[in-house]
Amino acid sequence: MESIVLIGGGGHCISCIDVIRSENKLEIVGVLDIIDNVGSSINGIKVIGTDDDIPNLVGKYKNFLITFGQIKSSEKRVAIYNLVKKFNGNLPVVISPLAYVSPSALLGEGTIIMHNSLINAKAVIGKNCIINTGALIEHEAVIGDFCHISTQAVVNGQAIVGNNSFAGSNSVIANNISLPEGIVLAAGACILKSIEKPGKYFGNPAIISSKS
């Protein structure tokens, strides 16, 4: 069994550990977190270092997974992804055995598909994405790189979600529409038509926040 190092502690890491253990394809050798947590454990996995150890660990361990989430910004996940790639680390796709992924769907490296999510026919998921618990990505939908589709969110058929975006819990994106890069959908937001302006959207039908 190949080894994997997780980058980032916290709640999302706890859930990722559960998914990796359920998949039973990779052995978790440790977590990287803030220096104050080195030596402690997260869901039974020891914190073995910090982000600063990535260059050295890439030579020892093959696989890495970014296990902290994103809401307002994907900037940190992008930076850590680029650091791992700079030193030729591998970021595998992780799929819960409780999820369904169509054989015709495409998944980018470093993406995790959490428990009870569904990726339908010919959907495309970019690199380093989080498809969280119970999310639905319908047929031919396209999710850009570095996106987080949160719990129970729905992206309907042939919809396009731009890079670096976040769809909150129970949000709904209607079919055949497109969203720009860097959009943030609040929990429960319902997007019924294409959007051109980045920002934070909330409500049903969704409107842009004055604080965007």
What's the number of domains the chain is made of? Answer: 2
Say what the pLDDT of residue 212 is.
59
What are the Cα distances from residue 195, in Å, to 82, 159, 184, 201?
29, 11, 12, 10
Q: How many CB atoms lie within 10 A of CB 57?
A: 19
Tokens linked to 199: 């920002």
Question: Residue 188 sits in a domain of what CATH number?
Answer: 2.160.10.10
Task: Give the phi and the psi of residue 142 in degrees, each rounded to 5.
Answer: -125, 120
Per the CB < 8 A criterion, the answer to whether 126 and 106 are in contact is no
Q: Is 91 contained in some domain?
A: no
pLDDT tens by residue, the chain, 212 residues: 899 999 999 999 999 999 999 999 999 999 999 999 999 999 999 999 999 999 999 989 989 999 999 988 999 999 999 999 999 999 999 999 999 999 999 999 999 999 999 999 999 999 999 999 999 999 999 999 999 999 999 999 999 999 999 999 999 999 999 999 999 999 999 999 999 999 999 999 998 987 75
Same domain? For 65 and 128 the reply is: no
Q: Quote the DSSP letter at residue 90.
A: B
Domain boundary residue, one of 31, 54, 86 = 86
Say what the pLDDT of residue 71 is.
85
Same domain? For 29 and 75 the reply is: yes
Same domain? For 46 and 79 the reply is: yes
